[in-house]
Each structure stands twice: as structure tokens, then as C-alpha cells.
Amino acid sequence: MANEKEEKAEIERLRREINQHNYRYYVLDSPVVTDAEYDRLMKRLAKLEALYPELITPDSPTQRVGAKPLESFGTITHTIPMLSLANALAKEEAIDFDAKIKRLLDMPLNGQIEYVAEPKMDGLAVELVYENGVFIKGSTRGDGYAGEDVTSNLKTVRSIPLSLSPSAKALSTLIEVRGEVFLPLDSFKKLNSEREKAGEQVFANPRNAAAGSLRQLDPKITAGRPLDIFCYGIGSVEGASFQTHFESLEFLKKTGLKINPLVKVVTGIEAVLDYHGEIEKKRDSLNYELDGVVIKVNNFSLQNRLGVISRSPRWAIAYKFAARQEETVVREIIVGVGRTGALTPVAMLSPVIVGGVTIERATLHNQDEVERKDVRVGDTVVVQRAGDVIPEVSYVVKEKRPHNAKPFKMPDACPVCGAEVEKDGALHFCTGGLSCPAQLQQSIAHFASKRAMDIDGLGEAHVVQFVDAGIVKDVAGLYSLTKDDILTLERWGEKSAENLLDAIERSKHPALDRLIYALGIHGVGEHVSKVLAGAFGSIDKLMTADREALLNIREIGPEITKSIQDFFSGAENAKVIEKLKKAGVEFKEVKPIEKGVLSNKIFLFTGTLSEFSRDEAKARVEAAGGRVAQSAGKKVDYVVAGGDPGSKLEKAKTMGLKIISEDEFKTLLEAGALKTM
């Protein structure tokens, strides 16, 4: 079949092209195609591979994710041990290192050694093994002799090529590459804030996050964490040879592996010291953590002459940066009150400069955390910053504790409103509800926030101003604000007051799920709000839903059920809802989705829908028991085509899938409609 031959050739072509785009995007950071075009190529490849599964190779770009979870990790022995580095903590130690090398090599002290100076990334060391240019296995450093087999997880790291560049393939039959896997700082912050929101333990620093992510038994979890790598060396190699370390790095670069662009050849110790200073200055502008620079003798024959002592090479040293940990004293532990009333102890510190930034406070999270670290007022503590992450108290220097220091205890009354404090799990809560000014301010700020009612230009500082001045007493109060009210406050002018009032007016027609989310019911985040909107169709029905009805909804458990019922049974909340209605806030009704009406049906969306965001559409399908696919496939039951549909629609047509309009989708969501389709 000519067609078959063509398609097989296309598979090859697509792989080459996708690998090239991957390289441009993840290694060079300069993509030449749009994400949409990249997706198109990937989908085309996946489709062809589905037609010819026998042609799927382990290094195909489609094979990055998808490996099954493991029971435990296997072990991989390193052909050549992975050594560790001796440290230099001060300039003098770096100078000694250079002097010692010259002595060992019988060189005059005024001679100059050629070094390669590299950033020392703070992640975890791995070894990647390529056979005939194909990535076949990868492992952690472990004890230096053998590490864990994390091949499937490493495959999910986009900057690790699954096959080396074609020109390099021919040069080397086997190459073991060493490098540092790390989690970029922006991804680290995002991951931690997601974990915090989900009530999960946050990672202490990016290195722990990278290690935790790479050591997952389920590669799908690793795939969701955008790990990255910089390669810095070679273990055993066949078919290629190098005179210098720098040459070997240049080779790795040519093969398509990622090398830190700040690596530099420097001659003499003075140049090493300058490099250290330069990189330390750059440190805060980088999107990954560095803890120093690594200095390596460039010439391999000199390296061999110098050899190894107690598992560290004599030819290299880690010249560390000043620690980002400092000692200071806890002057006071104050207790903050959040939107939900949760109390957070915060250590107020004697100001101290940590890694160039003055630190005066650090969150202690909750009572359990304070007890675990046993932090007391008067204690000397070590505080640390990981990147520009929020500073934290690392540990207490117990020897320096004043003898009268008392253990911290959460107050019995809310420090802001005086209401009683209740304990729930690890957290303490103020029971004052919205009569507590702290809770009130934050609830209003939440209500107005972008993903809730989206009142443009109403920030937290303004809310504090309005609440303090007594002109807004609950969320509904925002809708009775007048220009005169606002103009009595500082920093407001005619124009800014008018803009705010316009924005408040514009917020009066929220989608039902946003309105539910805006109410700030404990445990009801954006997703749950969508599920509730889909299940009940109106605030009134949600308000009157009994326990049974709530528990009947997939994803809604007893805790959320209780919190919803508590919320609506509060007289204050019912009043506020009444007031919102009176103020003209539209309480939209949508047709509730009958549970299970789309049971096991798979939907694919393409183009823009006029009445739903993608998230909403997804939540509604899921609330009715269906699922949403990301790409066209045989299992898709309905392709919903919105305005300006993408290439998915074309593909769906060629595959003969059932295509429906947004209106038909809406009908389908209604109970019983399925039977007529």
C-alpha cells in the first residue's frame, strides 16, 4: 500500500520535526512554532502511531508519559562511580585548592591552571545512559555506586532528549551523561501554592521538591512537575574521546543535551574568584537555585594525574556562596486571622539580612508546626530563604534559649474580634464569622477578586479602607457604595471613584458558579463551585438542599456538605444573600444536570463556546457523569464545535465522529435528552 509507506515515512519525519521543536523550546528556549502547531504535530504522530503500533519506538516523542506506576524502584549500578565534591566556603579555601593543585602537579606557584567554572545547581544528580543515541535508562546518584532506576520519570523531563541529534548518534555508541535535575523556581512556587491550597504539606525548598518529584512511583505525577536539567559531565563513553572537560561539554551540547550557558573556561585562580563574584550577583535573577560554583581542572590528563581522594576528585571543588541562612531572635509571635477565620502564628523577628534581603517576619503556619519546631518568644532561630521564596524558621538554636522562655500557645480568643477560638484538626479558627473585621475584610476581598465577582480595581487595601471607615459592612455593602462615600476617603478622586462604581455595576451578572465561589464557603473552591452550579442550577436550590442531596453529588463529601449547610443556616449569610438580590445582583438559574445522564460519555470541545468557559463545560460534563477528552480519538462520543473551531474539528470529521453544536450540547445536558440524540 503506497499510503502505508507514505504514512510510515511521515512518522519518521514527524519525530524528527518534533524532536527539533522540543530542542528549540526546552533546551534553547527559543521556539520557532506556536504551541498549537506543536500540538498538531504531536497529535498527528499519535494518530499514525495508533494506526501502526508496531512502529512505536521507546524514543518516540509520544512515549514521554504513559509508563505504568511502579511498585518500587529498581537499582542501577553506575559503571563509573558518581563522586561528590569537596567544599570551599571562603576565598582562602579556593586559593588553597589552586595552590595544592600546582604543588601536586609540580608546577610553579605563579603558573596558571586552566579551569572550567560552572554554576553549582542545587537539585539532584542523575545519570542518563544513551546507547546508539537512544536514551535507554537513567538513575539517581544514590550512594555514588548505585542509584535508583528512575528511567520512566526522567523520560517526562522535556529537556532530556529521548534520542540524541543524528550527527551525534554516529559518533558515540554509548555515553553516560551526568547532570543536575532541578525544579525551576517559578514552578516550585506554583507547586507549593497549589499544595498549600489543597491542604497538602509544602516542600521546604526547590531541591526537596525536585527530589520528591523525581522519586515518584507514578511517572504521571512526575510529568506534572516541569523538571529541568543541566548536564555537567560524562561517565563512561565509547566511540568518542576528549582532551578537555570543556570539549566534552561542547560535545554534549551538540548532541542536544542542555548545558548551563554560564559555564566558562577561566585561567588562573584570580579569574575563578571573579567568576564566583559574577555568578553570585546573578544568583537572584536566575529561575533556579544555585548554591555555589564548581571549579574543575579542564585538562583530562591533568585530572588523571591528580586523581581522587576519599570519593572526591582532587581536580574539582565546590566553591559555595554565602549561606542564605542567618540567625536572629524571635521578638514576638503574633497571630493573624485569615478569610476562613483560620489563625496563623507569625514570628516577628529582629531584622536580619538573608541572602541580600531583610527579613522581619516568618510564618509558623499553625500550632502543630510551632510545637514541632518548639519556637518560643526570645528564641534564637535560624531563618532561611530558598530563592525568593517566603522566609521560614528552619530551627531553634536551643543552647541560646533564655531560661524563662515559655512555649507558645494559641489564644483562646480571636486577637482581632475577641470571639472564641475553636480547634479543628491542625488549625484554630476564630468563631466570629463575618462580625470579625479580619474575616470580613478578607471575605470581601475574595468576593471581589478576579475569579469570583471580578470587580476590577478593588484591591485588598481598598477593602481594608472601606471596612475601617465603616462604609462597607458586608459583601452586599459594595453595591450600595456611593461616590460621596468613596470621596470621603483618602487617595480617591472623582475618576477613580467612578471607575470603581462602574466595575461594581459590571459585576452584577456573574455566572452561577462564580457567585457560589464568591460567597467564600469553607472548602468550596472554584471547582466545587462549578460542580454545585451544575448539580443544583440555582442558589435557592443549593441553599435548601438537604444533606442527602448534597452527599449524592460526586465529589461532594461530608465535610463540604457540612460547611455548605452551616453557611446557609447562618442568619447573617441568608440576610446578605437577600441584600445581594435586592441590590440587583443577578442570581442566574441554569438547568441542573441530571446525575449520570452523560454517564461514561466522552466529550471533546473545540472552538469557543458562548455560554460556558472550557472549565465550566468540563465541570458540567463531569457533574453528569461524563468525561472530557483532550484530542480526537475513536472513543469520543461527541465533539462540541464552538465558534472558530480548531484543527480538532477537521480531524474529528475525518474520523467520522459525532459533531454537535453548543445548543445541542446544552440540550444534551438536560435530563432525558440523551435518549433523543
Could you list the residues that contact ligand IVH (CB under 6 A)?
Answer: 83-85, 118, 120-121, 125, 141, 180, 232-233, 294, 313, 316, 318
Sign of CA dihedral 226, 227, 231, 235: negative
Alpha helices in 132-268 (DSSP H): 151-155, 166-171, 185-197, 206-214, 219-223, 245-255
- Tell me the residue nearest to ligand IVH as measured from the CB: 125
Is the Cβ of residue 176 or residue 180 nearer to ligand IVH in the bound state?
180
Is the Cβ of residue 318 or residue 528 nearer to ligand IVH in the bound state?
318
Nearest approach, Cβ of residue 302 and ligand IVH (Å) = 14
Q: HEC string of 541-558?
A: HHHHCCHHHHHCCCCCCH
Which residues have a Cβ under 8 Å from the Cβ of 390 and sit 6 or more positions away?
362, 363
d(C-alpha 158, C-alpha 224), whole Å: 11
Is the Cβ of residue 120 or residue 462 nearer to ligand IVH in the bound state?
120
- Beta carbons of 147 and 75 less than 8 angstroms apart: yes
Nearest approach, Cβ of residue 231 and ligand IVH (Å) = 9
Backbone angles phi, psi at 252, to 5 degrees: -55, -40
Q: What is the DSSP string of 377-443?
A: TT-EEEEE-STTSPPEEEEE-GGG--TT--B----SB-TTT--BEEEETTEEEETTGGGSHHHHHHH
C-alpha cell at 555: 465529589
Is the Cβ of residue 308 or residue 501 nearer to ligand IVH in the bound state?
308
Is the Cβ of residue 41 or residue 83 nearer to ligand IVH in the bound state?
83
Backbone angles phi, psi at 583, to 5 degrees: -70, -5
Check if 120 is active-site.
yes
d(C-alpha 18, C-alpha 28), whole Å: 14
Q: 126: which strand partners?
A: 140, 179
Is the Cβ of residue 8 or residue 314 nearer to ligand IVH in the bound state?
314
d(C-alpha 439, C-alpha 445), whole Å: 10
Nearest approach, Cβ of residue 218 and ligand IVH (Å) = 24
Nearest approach, Cβ of residue 181 and ligand IVH (Å) = 9
d(C-alpha 33, C-alpha 19), whole Å: 12
d(C-alpha 195, C-alpha 216), whole Å: 16
Is the Cβ of residue 263 or residue 452 nearer to ligand IVH in the bound state?
263
d(C-alpha 283, C-alpha 383), whole Å: 19
Residue 363: CB atoms within 10 A of its CB come to 15
Is the Cβ of residue 306 or residue 342 nearer to ligand IVH in the bound state?
306
- Give CA separation, 507 vs 447, 500, 502, 617, in Å: 11, 11, 9, 21
Q: What is the DSSP string of 99-152?
A: HHHHHHTT--TT---EEEEEEEESSEEEEEEEETTEEEEEEE-TTSSEEEB-HH
Long-range contacts of 536-545 (CB under 8 A, 24+ apart): 536/592, 537/512, 537/589, 537/590, 537/591, 537/592, 537/593, 538/512, 538/587, 538/588, 538/589, 538/590, 538/592, 539/512, 539/515, 539/577, 539/587, 540/587, 541/592, 542/516, 542/568, 543/568, 543/574, 543/577
Residue 414: CB atoms within 10 A of its CB come to 23
d(C-alpha 498, C-alpha 167), whole Å: 65
Nearest approach, Cβ of residue 128 and ligand IVH (Å) = 14
Nearest approach, Cβ of residue 227 and ligand IVH (Å) = 14
Nearest approach, Cβ of residue 118 and ligand IVH (Å) = 4
Nearest approach, Cβ of residue 207 and ligand IVH (Å) = 10
Nearest approach, Cβ of residue 85 and ligand IVH (Å) = 4
Is the Cβ of residue 232 or residue 479 nearer to ligand IVH in the bound state?
232
Is the Cβ of residue 118 or residue 662 nearer to ligand IVH in the bound state?
118
d(C-alpha 273, C-alpha 266), whole Å: 10
d(C-alpha 217, C-alpha 150), whole Å: 9
Q: Do the bridges between strand 392-396 and strand 380-384 make them parallel or antiparallel, or are there none, so unpaired?
A: antiparallel
- Beta carbons of 314 and 306 less than 8 angstroms apart: yes
Nearest approach, Cβ of residue 84 and ligand IVH (Å) = 4
Is the Cβ of residue 235 or residue 415 nearer to ligand IVH in the bound state?
235
Is the Cβ of residue 161 or residue 233 nearer to ligand IVH in the bound state?
233
d(C-alpha 147, C-alpha 74), whole Å: 9
Annotated catalytic residue, options 120, 530, 648, 651: 120
Comparing CA positions, the residue from 470, 392, 455, 477 lying closest to residue 204 is 392
Is the Cβ of residue 192 or residue 260 nearer to ligand IVH in the bound state?
260
d(C-alpha 188, C-alpha 519), whole Å: 30
Nearest approach, Cβ of residue 288 and ligand IVH (Å) = 11
d(C-alpha 337, C-alpha 318), whole Å: 44
Residue 314: CB atoms within 10 A of its CB come to 17
- Amino acid at position 98, single letter: D
Which residues carry out catalysis? 120
